[in-house]
Structure 1
Protein backbone atom coordinates (compact mmCIF):
# COMPACT_ATOMS: atom_id res chain seq x y z
CA UNK A 1 0.00 0.00 0.00
CA UNK A 2 2.84 2.44 0.68
CA UNK A 3 3.61 2.85 -3.04
CA UNK A 4 -0.03 3.39 -4.00
CA UNK A 5 -0.79 6.86 -5.38
CA UNK A 6 -4.48 6.52 -4.74
CA UNK A 7 -7.27 5.48 -7.08
CA UNK A 8 -8.20 7.01 -10.41
CA UNK A 9 -11.93 7.49 -10.85
CA UNK A 10 -13.08 7.99 -14.42
CA UNK A 11 -16.60 9.34 -14.63
CA UNK A 12 -18.24 9.31 -18.06
CA UNK A 13 -20.53 12.34 -17.99
CA UNK A 14 -22.14 12.05 -21.42
CA UNK A 15 -21.81 11.39 -25.11
CA UNK A 16 -22.53 14.16 -27.60
CA UNK A 17 -23.59 13.78 -31.26
CA UNK A 18 -22.89 10.05 -31.19
CA UNK A 19 -23.23 8.05 -34.39
CA UNK A 20 -26.51 6.20 -34.91
CA UNK A 21 -25.76 2.48 -35.22
CA UNK A 22 -29.23 0.98 -34.71
CA UNK A 23 -32.33 1.88 -36.71
CA UNK A 24 -32.99 5.31 -35.16
CA UNK A 25 -30.67 5.46 -32.15
CA UNK A 26 -27.93 3.55 -30.37
CA UNK A 27 -27.23 1.91 -27.03
CA UNK A 28 -23.76 3.28 -26.32
CA UNK A 29 -21.40 2.01 -23.64
CA UNK A 30 -17.81 2.78 -22.78
CA UNK A 31 -14.86 0.43 -22.54
CA UNK A 32 -11.82 1.85 -20.75
CA UNK A 33 -8.38 0.33 -21.25
CA UNK A 34 -5.35 1.30 -19.18
CA UNK A 35 -2.32 -0.88 -19.76
CA UNK A 36 -3.57 -4.46 -19.55
CA UNK A 37 -6.62 -3.54 -17.46
CA UNK A 38 -9.99 -3.36 -19.23
CA UNK A 39 -13.12 -1.99 -17.60
CA UNK A 40 -16.46 -2.44 -19.33
CA UNK A 41 -19.95 -2.09 -17.93
CA UNK A 42 -21.48 -4.01 -20.82
CA UNK A 43 -20.80 -7.49 -22.18
CA UNK A 44 -22.82 -7.15 -25.41
CA UNK A 45 -21.10 -7.17 -28.78
CA UNK A 46 -22.20 -4.00 -30.50
CA UNK A 47 -21.26 -1.90 -33.47
CA UNK A 48 -18.20 0.18 -32.71
CA UNK A 49 -19.09 3.82 -32.13
CA UNK A 50 -15.55 5.21 -32.22
CA UNK A 51 -12.54 5.34 -29.98
CA UNK A 52 -10.39 7.97 -28.29
CA UNK A 53 -7.11 8.14 -26.44
CA UNK A 54 -5.87 10.52 -23.80
CA UNK A 55 -2.74 10.68 -21.72
CA UNK A 56 -2.75 11.06 -17.95
CA UNK A 57 0.84 12.23 -17.47
CA UNK A 58 -0.17 15.85 -16.79
CA UNK A 59 -2.73 14.58 -14.28
CA UNK A 60 -0.08 12.39 -12.56
CA UNK A 61 2.34 15.31 -12.40
CA UNK A 62 -0.35 17.34 -10.59
CA UNK A 63 -0.89 14.43 -8.16
CA UNK A 64 2.86 14.25 -7.47
CA UNK A 65 2.82 17.91 -6.39
CA UNK A 66 1.00 16.86 -3.19
CA UNK A 67 -1.09 19.99 -3.22
CA UNK A 68 -3.21 20.95 -0.23
CA UNK A 69 -5.51 23.72 0.91
CA UNK A 70 -5.85 25.48 -2.43
CA UNK A 71 -8.85 27.64 -3.20
CA UNK A 72 -11.65 25.67 -4.84
CA UNK A 73 -11.40 26.05 -8.61
CA UNK A 74 -7.66 26.76 -8.71
CA UNK A 75 -6.27 25.71 -12.11
CA UNK A 76 -3.16 23.58 -11.63
CA UNK A 77 -2.34 23.10 -15.32
CA UNK A 78 -3.88 23.04 -18.78
CA UNK A 79 -3.67 20.47 -21.55
CA UNK A 80 -4.12 21.73 -25.10
CA UNK A 81 -5.69 19.79 -27.99
CA UNK A 82 -3.05 18.45 -30.36
CA UNK A 83 -2.41 15.75 -32.96
CA UNK A 84 -1.18 13.52 -30.12
CA UNK A 85 -4.49 13.50 -28.21
CA UNK A 86 -8.21 13.39 -28.94
CA UNK A 87 -9.09 16.51 -26.97
CA UNK A 88 -11.61 18.69 -28.77
CA UNK A 89 -10.91 21.66 -26.48
CA UNK A 90 -8.53 22.76 -23.74
CA UNK A 91 -8.68 20.56 -20.63
CA UNK A 92 -7.88 22.02 -17.20
CA UNK A 93 -6.57 20.12 -14.20
CA UNK A 94 -8.25 21.78 -11.23
CA UNK A 95 -8.33 21.64 -7.44
CA UNK A 96 -11.99 20.98 -6.65
CA UNK A 97 -13.44 20.24 -3.20
CA UNK A 98 -10.10 19.04 -1.87
CA UNK A 99 -9.34 16.81 -4.88
CA UNK A 100 -7.48 16.99 -8.17
CA UNK A 101 -9.88 16.63 -11.11
CA UNK A 102 -9.65 16.96 -14.87
CA UNK A 103 -12.62 17.44 -17.17
CA UNK A 104 -12.15 16.68 -20.85
CA UNK A 105 -14.06 16.43 -24.11
CA UNK A 106 -12.68 13.71 -26.37
CA UNK A 107 -13.39 13.65 -30.09
CA UNK A 108 -14.13 10.09 -31.18
CA UNK A 109 -12.00 8.61 -33.97
CA UNK A 110 -12.87 6.00 -36.60
CA UNK A 111 -16.50 7.09 -36.69
CA UNK A 112 -18.36 9.83 -38.52
CA UNK A 113 -19.33 11.88 -35.45
CA UNK A 114 -19.26 12.00 -31.68
CA UNK A 115 -17.58 13.22 -28.51
CA UNK A 116 -17.40 11.89 -24.97
CA UNK A 117 -17.18 14.06 -21.85
CA UNK A 118 -15.09 12.55 -19.02
CA UNK A 119 -13.90 13.55 -15.56
CA UNK A 120 -10.75 12.15 -13.99
CA UNK A 121 -10.53 12.33 -10.21
CA UNK A 122 -7.85 11.16 -7.80
CA UNK A 123 -9.26 9.35 -4.78
CA UNK A 124 -7.02 9.20 -1.72
CA UNK A 125 -6.55 5.77 -0.17
CA UNK A 126 -5.93 5.69 3.60
CA UNK A 127 -2.53 4.21 4.35
CA UNK A 128 -0.96 5.16 1.02
CA UNK A 129 2.03 7.46 0.98
CA UNK A 130 1.35 8.76 -2.44
CA UNK A 131 4.39 8.95 -4.65
Structure 2
Protein backbone atom coordinates (compact mmCIF):
# COMPACT_ATOMS: atom_id res chain seq x y z
CA UNK A 1 0.00 0.00 0.00
CA UNK A 2 1.40 3.42 -0.96
CA UNK A 3 1.74 6.23 1.54
CA UNK A 4 -0.73 9.09 1.31
CA UNK A 5 0.46 11.65 -1.23
CA UNK A 6 2.85 9.23 -2.90
CA UNK A 7 2.73 7.57 -6.26
CA UNK A 8 1.59 3.94 -6.30
CA UNK A 9 3.05 3.19 -9.73
CA UNK A 10 6.59 2.85 -10.95
CA UNK A 11 7.56 6.27 -12.28
CA UNK A 12 11.11 5.38 -13.13
CA UNK A 13 13.97 2.95 -12.92
CA UNK A 14 17.36 4.16 -11.74
CA UNK A 15 20.35 2.23 -12.97
CA UNK A 16 23.21 2.91 -10.57
CA UNK A 17 26.60 2.02 -11.97
CA UNK A 18 28.93 1.63 -9.00
CA UNK A 19 32.18 2.53 -10.73
CA UNK A 20 34.91 2.52 -8.09
CA UNK A 21 36.03 3.31 -4.59
CA UNK A 22 39.08 5.44 -3.91
CA UNK A 23 41.29 5.42 -0.81
CA UNK A 24 38.84 3.34 1.23
CA UNK A 25 39.60 2.69 4.88
CA UNK A 26 41.71 -0.32 5.86
CA UNK A 27 39.73 -2.67 8.10
CA UNK A 28 41.80 -5.87 7.92
CA UNK A 29 45.54 -6.22 8.58
CA UNK A 30 46.76 -4.50 5.41
CA UNK A 31 43.67 -4.03 3.26
CA UNK A 32 39.90 -4.55 3.10
CA UNK A 33 37.39 -6.67 1.20
CA UNK A 34 34.82 -3.98 0.33
CA UNK A 35 31.28 -4.20 -0.98
CA UNK A 36 28.56 -1.55 -1.24
CA UNK A 37 24.92 -1.61 -0.14
CA UNK A 38 22.47 0.92 -1.66
CA UNK A 39 19.09 1.57 -0.03
CA UNK A 40 16.05 3.45 -1.36
CA UNK A 41 12.93 3.14 0.78
CA UNK A 42 12.51 -0.57 1.50
CA UNK A 43 14.73 -1.61 -1.43
CA UNK A 44 18.26 -2.82 -0.82
CA UNK A 45 20.82 -3.87 -3.44
CA UNK A 46 24.51 -4.67 -3.14
CA UNK A 47 27.65 -5.11 -5.18
CA UNK A 48 29.93 -8.09 -5.19
CA UNK A 49 32.89 -8.13 -2.78
CA UNK A 50 36.29 -7.08 -4.14
CA UNK A 51 39.02 -8.93 -2.26
CA UNK A 52 42.00 -7.18 -0.65
CA UNK A 53 41.61 -3.77 -2.26
CA UNK A 54 41.16 -0.24 -0.87
CA UNK A 55 40.79 1.15 -4.42
CA UNK A 56 38.24 -1.34 -5.80
CA UNK A 57 36.76 -1.17 -9.28
CA UNK A 58 33.26 -2.64 -9.44
CA UNK A 59 31.80 -1.31 -12.72
CA UNK A 60 28.62 -3.00 -11.55
CA UNK A 61 25.06 -2.00 -12.49
CA UNK A 62 22.39 -2.07 -9.78
CA UNK A 63 18.75 -1.10 -10.34
CA UNK A 64 16.40 0.76 -7.99
CA UNK A 65 12.71 1.41 -8.66
CA UNK A 66 11.35 4.93 -8.11
CA UNK A 67 7.82 4.59 -6.72
CA UNK A 68 7.46 7.05 -3.84
CA UNK A 69 8.23 10.58 -5.02
CA UNK A 70 8.38 11.69 -1.38
CA UNK A 71 11.22 9.25 -0.58
CA UNK A 72 14.09 9.88 -2.98
CA UNK A 73 17.03 9.67 -0.55
CA UNK A 74 19.50 6.90 -1.38
CA UNK A 75 21.92 5.72 1.29
CA UNK A 76 25.20 4.10 0.36
CA UNK A 77 27.09 1.99 2.90
CA UNK A 78 30.50 0.42 2.37
CA UNK A 79 31.42 -2.72 4.33
CA UNK A 80 34.49 -4.89 4.73
CA UNK A 81 33.49 -8.53 4.24
CA UNK A 82 34.66 -10.71 7.12
CA UNK A 83 33.96 -14.25 8.25
CA UNK A 84 31.66 -13.40 11.16
CA UNK A 85 30.73 -9.70 11.22
CA UNK A 86 31.24 -7.27 8.35
CA UNK A 87 32.96 -4.04 9.42
CA UNK A 88 31.56 -0.64 8.35
CA UNK A 89 33.89 1.33 6.06
CA UNK A 90 31.81 4.50 5.75
CA UNK A 91 28.49 5.76 4.47
CA UNK A 92 27.13 8.50 2.24
CA UNK A 93 23.78 9.64 0.88
CA UNK A 94 22.42 11.43 -2.14
CA UNK A 95 19.05 12.66 -3.36
CA UNK A 96 17.45 11.40 -6.54
CA UNK A 97 15.16 14.46 -6.53
CA UNK A 98 17.30 16.59 -8.92
CA UNK A 99 17.50 13.67 -11.37
CA UNK A 100 13.78 12.84 -11.10
CA UNK A 101 12.62 16.46 -11.37
CA UNK A 102 14.87 17.15 -14.35
CA UNK A 103 13.71 13.97 -16.10
CA UNK A 104 10.04 14.80 -15.51
CA UNK A 105 10.46 18.35 -16.84
CA UNK A 106 12.54 17.25 -19.82
CA UNK A 107 10.23 14.37 -20.73
CA UNK A 108 7.23 16.71 -20.66
CA UNK A 109 9.04 19.34 -22.76
CA UNK A 110 10.26 16.71 -25.23
CA UNK A 111 6.75 15.30 -25.58
CA UNK A 112 5.30 18.77 -26.24
CA UNK A 113 8.07 19.58 -28.71
CA UNK A 114 7.45 16.34 -30.62
CA UNK A 115 3.72 17.07 -30.85
CA UNK A 116 4.28 20.61 -32.13
CA UNK A 117 6.97 19.72 -34.67
CA UNK A 118 4.93 17.03 -36.48
CA UNK A 119 7.13 14.17 -35.38
CA UNK A 120 10.46 15.88 -36.01
CA UNK A 121 12.76 15.55 -33.01
CA UNK A 122 14.67 18.56 -31.77
CA UNK A 123 18.41 18.41 -32.36
CA UNK A 124 20.76 17.52 -29.58
CA UNK A 125 24.37 16.53 -29.65
CA UNK A 126 25.42 13.04 -28.60
CA UNK A 127 26.23 14.24 -25.09
CA UNK A 128 22.68 15.45 -24.35
CA UNK A 129 21.53 18.65 -22.69
CA UNK A 130 22.67 19.76 -19.23
CA UNK A 131 19.48 20.47 -17.28
CA UNK A 132 20.93 21.44 -13.92
CA UNK A 133 24.00 21.15 -11.73
CA UNK A 134 23.89 19.96 -8.13
CA UNK A 135 26.46 21.64 -5.88
CA UNK A 136 28.08 20.02 -2.84
CA UNK A 137 26.26 20.98 0.37
CA UNK A 138 25.42 19.78 3.86
CA UNK A 139 22.37 18.12 2.25
CA UNK A 140 24.50 15.70 0.23
CA UNK A 141 27.91 14.01 0.30
CA UNK A 142 29.13 15.27 -3.08
CA UNK A 143 32.86 15.92 -3.49
CA UNK A 144 32.23 18.29 -6.44
CA UNK A 145 29.36 19.65 -8.52
CA UNK A 146 27.38 17.09 -10.52
CA UNK A 147 25.42 17.80 -13.71
CA UNK A 148 22.11 16.18 -14.67
CA UNK A 149 22.09 15.54 -18.42
CA UNK A 150 18.99 14.70 -20.53
CA UNK A 151 19.12 12.64 -23.72
CA UNK A 152 15.83 13.11 -25.60
CA UNK A 153 16.70 10.40 -28.11
CA UNK A 154 17.18 7.84 -25.31
CA UNK A 155 14.47 9.31 -23.06
CA UNK A 156 16.84 9.16 -20.09
CA UNK A 157 18.46 11.49 -17.59
CA UNK A 158 21.98 10.78 -16.35
CA UNK A 159 24.20 12.06 -13.56
CA UNK A 160 27.78 11.21 -12.54
CA UNK A 161 28.81 11.84 -8.96
CA UNK A 162 31.60 11.25 -6.49
CA UNK A 163 30.57 10.84 -2.85
CA UNK A 164 32.77 11.39 0.20
CA UNK A 165 32.23 8.71 2.82
CA UNK A 166 31.33 9.88 6.32
CA UNK A 167 31.96 8.29 9.70
CA UNK A 168 35.36 7.07 8.56
CA UNK A 169 38.88 8.47 8.15
CA UNK A 170 38.92 8.40 4.33
CA UNK A 171 37.25 7.19 1.18
CA UNK A 172 35.23 8.22 -1.85
CA UNK A 173 32.88 6.31 -4.17
CA UNK A 174 32.16 7.13 -7.81
CA UNK A 175 28.68 6.43 -9.22
CA UNK A 176 26.90 6.96 -12.53
CA UNK A 177 23.11 7.27 -12.39
CA UNK A 178 20.73 6.80 -15.29
CA UNK A 179 16.99 7.34 -14.86
CA UNK A 180 14.54 5.83 -17.30
CA UNK A 181 11.46 8.00 -16.77
CA UNK A 182 8.05 6.28 -16.84
CA UNK A 183 6.02 9.20 -15.42
CA UNK A 184 3.36 10.67 -17.65
CA UNK A 185 3.49 14.41 -18.27
CA UNK A 186 3.16 16.48 -15.13
CA UNK A 187 0.94 13.95 -13.37
CA UNK A 188 3.75 12.20 -11.57
CA UNK A 189 6.21 15.02 -11.03
CA UNK A 190 7.65 15.26 -7.53
CA UNK A 191 6.61 18.08 -5.24
| 2:129 is equivalent to residue 72 of structure 1 | no
Task: Give the aligned partner of residue 170 of structure 2.
Answer: 113
- Aligned runs of 1:1-131 on 2, under 5 Å? 3-41=9-47, 45-65=85-105, 66=107, 68=110, 70-73=124-127, 74-96=129-151, 98=154, 99-123=156-180, 129=184, 131=188
Q: Is the 8 A contact 2:21 2:171 kept in 1?
A: yes
Separation in structure 1 between the aligned mates of residue 181 and residue 100 of structure 2, nearest angstrom: 13
1:78-109: CA deviations, max 9, x gaps? Answer: 00000111001001111357231100000000
Tell me the secondary structure at the aligned position of residue 23 of structure 1. Answer: coil
Q: Is the 8 A contact 2:164 2:173 kept in 1?
A: yes
Structure with greater helix percent: 2
- Per the TM alignment, residue 6 of structure 1 is displaced from its structure 2 partner at its CA by 2.6
Tell me the secondary structure at the aligned position of residue 101 of structure 2. Answer: helix
Work out which of the two has the higher radius of gyration on C-alpha atoms and give 1 or 2: 2
Task: With the length of structure 2 as denominator, give the TM-score of the two structures.
Answer: 0.60
Report how many aligned residue pairs link the two structures.
Answer: 128
Q: Which runs of 5+ in 1 are unaligned?
A: none
Separation in structure 2 between the aligned mates of residue 100 and residue 84 of structure 1, nearest angstrom: 21
Separation in structure 1 between the aligned mates of residue 150 and residue 169 of structure 2, nearest angstrom: 35
- RMSD between aligned residues: 2.4
Q: Which runs of 5+ in 2 are unaligned?
A: 1-7, 50-80, 111-121
- Per the TM alignment, residue 36 of structure 1 is displaced from its structure 2 partner at its CA by 1.6
Structure with greater strand percent: 2
